[in-house]
């Protein structure tokens, strides 16, 4: 199964994130209207995902853990997640894209 397409725009401290909400298996559409954008860390961070659904949820959980560890500091949480993603044998195999944003940054 795959979940695809997420985009974000940030300008002057305001941002928007959108996704297609579609889950497919090969060429067949299994679900329309899937929630692929989540609010994290006291609703201060938006995170959207594309790729394999289960892999995306794994990365989303890890990002949420890092945000809690670093007090909602998105740049620090994103960098630490990227380090973990590159070095962990299991995470390296994940087929997913994670997009996260707050009022100042997009990662």
Give the active site residue among 4, 24, 58, 69: 4
CA distance 53 to 34: 10
Token pair, residue 101, equals: 């944003």
Positive or negative: CA dihedral 45, 49, 54, 55:
negative
CA distance 89 to 72: 26
Token pair, residue 67, equals: 């945000």
Q: Is 4 a catalytic residue?
A: yes
Backbone angles phi, psi at 78, to 5 degrees: -65, -40
Which residue numbers are catalytic? Answer: 4
């Amino acid at each position: 199964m795959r979940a695809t397409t997420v985009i974000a725009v940030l300008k002057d401290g305001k941002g928007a994130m959108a996704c297609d909400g579609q889950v497919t298996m090969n060429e067949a559409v299994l679900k329309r209207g899937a929630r692929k954008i989540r609010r994290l860390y006291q609703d201060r961070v938006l995170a959207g995902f594309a790729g394999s659904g289960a892999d995306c949820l794994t990365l989303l959980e890890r990002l949420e853990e890092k945000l809690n560890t670093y007090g909602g500091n998105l740049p620090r949480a994103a960098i630490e997640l990227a380090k973990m993603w590159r070095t962990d044998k299991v995470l390296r195999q994940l087929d997913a894209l994670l997009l996260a944003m707050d009022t100042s940054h997009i990662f």
